[in-house]
Structure 1
């Protein structure tokens, strides 16, 4: 049918455009946060874009339902504003006719959201945790940043470098360490990192500096000037990153549903796909508009509905984790409750009634 094809084309393009805008906004926010951590020295600059990629991948299952919701809403709203819905209604094509194409299109985006929730998001979460573990245990020269006091894990040393040149040479080096009750401070004008070809151990060669060594609180300090001092960077063993519930593979998740946190995570993943279809009902209901109304009035109401829905899901997940909600109930009470309200509104809209019309006799004397 020509009407359905036109709806599919416009709704799909609008959804993809909104999804792209939401994705760009999310990427920019994540990038600013990650760059801030890199500037503070909390993580290596070399992994910023790797983390950004995995964080973006982990949010696709959240962006898709919202993009589809707004895509359907804006498409039908435009048809109302341009009187296309009025013409279609005069030809016998009512609002309920669009439920089938909306749900068919929802199956496509729902499948993508399902794949994201049950595969891509857990995969990205595991990779992010592994990267964070590697960053927290790095003790190599690449972890040093200019202008930042950095503690090298596993070494007990605090390192400060004033400047790092493009070739990797270091300028203005300060190293402080506490070993066996003796405080040692190394100051050097310059230095460079290198790797021992025989052992593979990593060192920083400090050039033209001074060593101050002694016991804290005592006057007997030893001062030694040196031309070259090789500072060994002790590697730290990297263990396995703990996998949170959000990062568990789906098959492993299904074998541990007796655990409250695991059960809550399963319902949270499933809820992202179910929410896409429930929100599509609200999009059809709230799309109605006319010339007298502002262009953004129904969009504001739609956003309020989305936040109410998402907050109820968050509350439900917390109740599952705390054991205040039976595991069998899960988050179904939220989905079913929101769906029933949407179906009631849809019935009112299909019969050209006010969404919140009062029963006969209410308010009368």
Structure 2
């Protein structure tokens, strides 16, 4: 049908544009966060885009329901403002026909989100968790760019490292400077400073630990303000710069596969499973709610009800997030009232009210007019 193709084409274009804008906003904010972590050496710069690629399905599964919802509001709102909807209703096109017209894009969006939330996103989260575990075990000097100071704090102290250049032929850092400033225990105002300069340094692995092997250098150790700094010349010295490689942390519930969530009796697993299913249920419910919410008069404009409609969506999502957190925090048996199904039923009742209340009001006004 020509009407179906017309509405679907408008809805597709609008949804894609809204999705692109929202993805750019969300990805930019998250990328800046990861970029800040890379700047202080928490993660390697070459892992940034890989992390963002694995996180993209998670962003899309959150954005697509909202994008489709806004797309329906904008498309139908424009049709009301341009009086196209008046012509369609005069020709016998009802809101049920609009539902059938938008059934295909709604079902396709729900299927795509189901693919993301039930399969793709958990895989991506598992990969991101593994990447962060690998970055956690990296040496400070592995993240150090030659010619730049690198400062990092840990275990009550700070360590600054600097290498003038990198000898790629020998795989060694040239003219290495390392300064470690350790905070004193509580109750003692003194601090200790350890400064090392070496002609050359290279990373070595011994017994699961990462060391910096320094050759031809000096070590200065003492407390700032004292005159009894100890100076030591060394031909070869090992400085520990890495952490002991322990076992990987257990994956978070969000990284579990859907089959693992179904097999688990933990409340965290139940909360995560309900959240993944809720992302799918949101799509048809909010698409149905958008049809009556898009009714505007030409004087209101196509954006007349956009803000109230978005507030309804945010309230719906907020309730689901609160329920997810509440289910995860429960210890023992899960009470019957703690289930996302009640929020979806409340949303379904709201959708029914959006259709029935205006029809009931119009019928009541019509009855009053007939009596007068």
Q: Please, what TM-score do these two structures have when normalized by structure 1?
A: 0.82
Cα 1:91–1:51 shift into 2, 3 Å: same
1:128 is matched with 128
Q: Does 1:346 align with 2:355?
A: yes
1:273-288 alignment runs, 5 A limit: 273-288=280-295
* Deviation at residue 327 of structure 1 after TM alignment: 5.3
1:150 is matched with 152
- 2 CA distance for matches of 1:263 and 1:328? 14
1:195-214 alignment runs, 5 A limit: 204=212, 206=214, 209-212=217-220
1:164–1:170 contact (8 Å) kept in structure 2: yes
2:3–2:101 contact (8 Å) kept in structure 1: no
1:312 is matched with 319
Deviation string for 1:165-190 (max 9, x for gaps)?
47674555114499xxxx88342165
- 2 CA distance for matches of 1:49 and 1:199? 32
1:259 is matched with 266
Deviation string for 1:192-222 (max 9, x for gaps)?
43568x9999664546631135899x99864
* Deviation at residue 339 of structure 1 after TM alignment: 1.2
1:187–1:211 contact (8 Å) kept in structure 2: yes
Say which SS state the counterpart of residue 41 (structure 1) adopts: coil
1:44 is matched with 44
Say which SS state the counterpart of residue 122 (structure 1) adopts: helix
Deviation string for 1:222-259 (max 9, x for gaps)?
42234665646566324223111111110111011x32
2:85 is matched with 85
Unaligned runs of 5+ in 2: 183-191
2:178 is matched with 174
Cα 1:51–1:285 shift into 2, 3 Å: same
Q: Which of 225, 229, 242 is matched with 2:233 structurally?
A: 225
Cα 1:170–1:160 shift into 2, 3 Å: farther
Unaligned runs of 5+ in 1: none
Deviation string for 1:279-304 (max 9, x for gaps)?
11121111112221144221111111
- 2 CA distance for matches of 1:82 and 1:91? 16
Cα 1:157–1:299 shift into 2, 3 Å: closer
2:40–2:152 contact (8 Å) kept in structure 1: no
1:247 is matched with 255
1:2 is matched with 2
- 2 CA distance for matches of 1:127 and 1:164? 35
Deviation string for 1:68-98 (max 9, x for gaps)?
1111111111111111111111111122211
* Deviation at residue 42 of structure 1 after TM alignment: 2.6
1:117 is matched with 117
